[in-house]
Chain A
Amino acid sequence: MRPTVPRLVNILVPVKRSIDYAVKIRVASDGKGVDTNVKHSMNPFDEIAVEEAIRLREKKSVKVDSITAISIGPTKSIDTIRTALAMGADSGIHILTPENTIIEPISVASALKKIIEDKKIDLVIMGKQAIDDDSGSTGGILAGKLNWSQGSFVSKLELKENGEINITREIDGGLEKITSKLPVIVTTDLRLNEPRYASLPNIMKAKKKKIETIKPEDLGLDFTPRLETISVSEPAKRQGGGKVESVDELVSKMKEAGVI
């Protein structure tokens, strides 16, 4: 038998700049969005995706030829790409869009599809959802558009030299194992890994790594939203009912409410 040729894998990691998860968000006064003049950082699920790409390279079960981080958004999205580069990604692509515009999952997926076809990507690792719009759909839409296999909500990933991939997914009630072959779209769940912090030397090195900037029109894409925002509002406020002093009082309150 001929020895198998080591496969060179090109990984794309989409990262989103979103409001930091610890920020308590406020609805904007115009009722059309939220106040975005607050701390932003990389969407937490995307950090896990970057980390997994780097670990695949470190594991050496396959030869990872390139790890490209991509982000779509205003100029500040470059910061998010830099973070990915400082963690260990090789290069970045920034698709520049105007400030304060919503780029919907379907537009993101269309753009990613173009890049994937252009850059000969074999594996996309991305977050299962962005914590701002909570839509959780970009990975699936992309897989559908490309007709690639998908591993959603992945908590364990094993990639073999021949391009086979073993995936453990989180499902309601437990875990599901599936197997597939490259090319594949993977979306990360929280338990996949613990993302590393970028060290200062790596942050310095990341400044030298290349980020290519592309405009949507260069890709021949129209990012006009299909879903029109009618309003963004505060959720109904819940009033705490105050505290009780003892378990006995707690029990009588529960009785009053008819739950015991």
Chain B
Amino acid sequence: MLVRAAIRSSRSSSLATAQRRLASSLVFLEHKNGKLNDSSLNAVTAAQTLGSDTAGIVVGSKSDVDSVLEEVKKIDGLTKIYTAASDDYAHTLAENVAPLLASVLPAKNISHLFAAHTAVGKNVFPRLAGILDSSMIADIVALESSGDVFTRPIYAGNAILKIKSSPKDAIKIVTVRTTAFDKAKTGGGNASVEEVEAKSGDSSTKYVSEELTISSRPDLSSASRVVSGGRALKSQENFNKILDPLADALGAAVGASRAAVDAGYADNSLQVGQTGKVVAPELYVAAGISGAIQHLAGMKESKLIVAINKDADAPIFQVADVGLVADLFEAVPELTKKIEGAKA
């Protein structure tokens, strides 16, 4: 929450800085199968801290670019959308997309590239930084309107680093922690569209296939409520049987600790923590999670943390707003029933 306050205060001074800045920002608009990944909207908000001209770029197969274009043109605050369409870009392979961006950024006089710190962002942008010989500024939670001072968590969020980028890094390549920035609004924008020439790398890397975990629940990274389970659930069957009804009663996404994922109780795409996803929902329910620092790194910005654990000394209770020392196999079903009762 502190971070958001900092961003608001820097926004108020951004108008004055806009006049001083010559170059402009570009936001990489991530999409999957022709649908915008809305974590890109958080990156747009971060970019607008600089108060300058902000453009977006959509890279993908022709059909994906066409289907996402109408939506992204309407993002508030984007003045221009660059598009690059080619079958080579279909699955956002870093080997193809990074060289394209490396040619577009200098040609369009871009000073800052912003992207969400997602699996795609983490894969493509370091490579781009390598091609441009520029530093990679990863996972920022705040930036100053001057455009060269950035704040990012280190040591699993146990320390906060503020850095100043040097003019040596002519183009700043920045990925944004989505939970630290609001989403840009959509619907009011009317950006112009400019196609840029497709340019691919000469790599031997080819996409083969993907296996996605299908879920009818909200997406974990953007859900406003998350119910998470740990090793104490003891089996995959219990994990689903105990947590799913509570998640459904709350309209929540399901998450997991690394211990639960490693034990095979939950898919690894559900992992919350330093090496998994970082979430900051309104409500985070941790059931049977001890609260290792690596897990806390992924959820301690949540607004209300509820912990249910048998062990009264579990570290999770040090961050939980509401803690209940109880056997989750009894407490969680009872909680589910009472929440359903409260709704009825």
Q: Which residues of A contact B (CB under 8 A)?
A: 19, 21, 24-25, 27, 34, 104-106, 109, 129, 131-153, 155, 166, 170-181, 189-191, 226-236, 238, 240-251, 253-255, 257, 259-260
Contact = CB atoms under 8 A, between A and B. Distances in A.
Nearest to A189: B275
A153 B274 CA distance: 14
Most buried by A among B161, B169, B277: B161
A51 to B, nearest CB: 15
B202 to A, nearest CB: 8
Given A238-B319, A250-B324, A230 B162 contact: yes
Contacts, number: 260
Contacts of A173: 212-213, 269
A189 B276 CA distance: 10
B129 interface: yes
Contact of A145 (B1, B130, B156, B206): B130
B193 interface: no
Contacts of A148: 203
A38 to B, nearest CB: 11
A43 B163 CA distance: 23
Interface in B208-249: 208-213, 221, 225
A141 B136 contact: yes
Contacts of B339: 251, 254, 260
26 contacts: A106-B130, A133-B154, A135-B136, A136-B139, A140-B130, A147-B131, A149-B95, A149-B205, A152-B122, A170-B119, A174-B210, A179-B205, A179-B208, A191-B268, A227-B135, A227-B165, A228-B163, A229-B161, A233-B160, A240-B317, A247-B326, A247-B334, A249-B324, A250-B335, A259-B304, A260-B342
A39 B319 CA distance: 25
Nearest to B118: A172
B179 to A, nearest CB: 14
Given A105-B135, A172-B269, A254-B339, 16 more contacts: A105-B126, A106-B134, A134-B139, A139-B126, A141-B127, A141-B129, A148-B203, A153-B123, A180-B206, A191-B262, A236-B1, A240-B318, A243-B323, A243-B325, A247-B326, A259-B282
Nearest to A148: B203
B164 interface: yes
B98 interface: yes
A141 B130 contact: yes
B92 to A, nearest CB: 10
Most buried by A among B131, B274, B275, B293: B275
Contacts of A105: 126, 135-136
A1 to B, nearest CB: 22
Interface in B165-214: 165-166, 168-169, 201-213
Interface in B245-289: 250, 258, 262, 267-269, 274-275, 277, 282-283
A226 B98 contact: no
Contact of B322 (A132, A244, A248): A244
Interface in B299-344: 300, 304, 306, 308, 312, 317-326, 331, 334-335, 338-339, 342-343
Contacts of A152: 94, 122-123
On chain B, which size bracket covers the interface?
Answer: 35 or more
A152 to B, nearest CB: 5
Contacts of A248: 338
Contact of A254 (B1, B118, B306): B306
A139 B201 CA distance: 17
Contacts of B132: 144
Contacts of B133: 106, 145
B98 to A, nearest CB: 6
A229 B322 contact: no
Contacts of B98: 144
A144 B156 CA distance: 26
A104 B154 CA distance: 14
Nearest to B275: A190
Contacts of B321: 240-241, 253, 257
B136 A137 contact: yes
Contact of A150 (B95, B158, B258, B262): B95
B166 to A, nearest CB: 5
A156 B4 CA distance: 39
B157 interface: yes
Interface in B97-141: 98, 118-120, 122-139
A134 to B, nearest CB: 5
Given A145-B130, A250-B335, A226 B122 contact: no
